[in-house]
Structure 1
Amino acid sequence: MKKLSEKHVENALKVLHDTLQRNITDISAVLDMYEMTHDDYELCYNKPYNALSAGWYAIQEAVSKMNNQLTKK
């Protein structure tokens, strides 16, 4: 039972990491497209853009924390 639960954690971690990496890539493309088609004023004051940008940074931070936790000695 212990080995099984450890395997489930490893699998869940891999799936989560892959999903977050894919989200980072997808969101980056959307943000880049928006930034190319809008001026600085629109970037500063568009609520959906700023919310998506905040989410992108949060996902980056989550991946970084996960990686740091895994590499701790």
Structure 2
Amino acid sequence: MSRAMVGLIAGMALGFAAYFGGFWAVLLVLGLGVVGLMVGRFMEGDLEPDDFVRRRGRQERIRDDRRRARGDRRQ
């Protein structure tokens, strides 16, 4: 299914929720849609729990790797 089709379906779902349920129904549908998206991505293997946890050491290693790639030897 193309991204345009998914966007169309999501827009229609939000439109129906707005028409029949009001503002809070739109927020509920939107929130549940995000939860469903995350669960689906976890099940497909596109996301890992570590993607939501930022570790300080890993970020520092990424910065150090970028410095080395630029040739900057200062610390």
Q: Same fold (TM over 0.5)?
A: no
The structure, 1 or 2, with the larger RCO (C-alpha pairs under 8 Å, 6+ apart) is 1
State TM-score, norm by structure 2.
Answer: 0.34
Query: TM (normalized to structure 1)?
Result: 0.35
Instruction: Pick the structure with more helix per residue.
Output: 1
**Higher gyration radius (CA):** 2
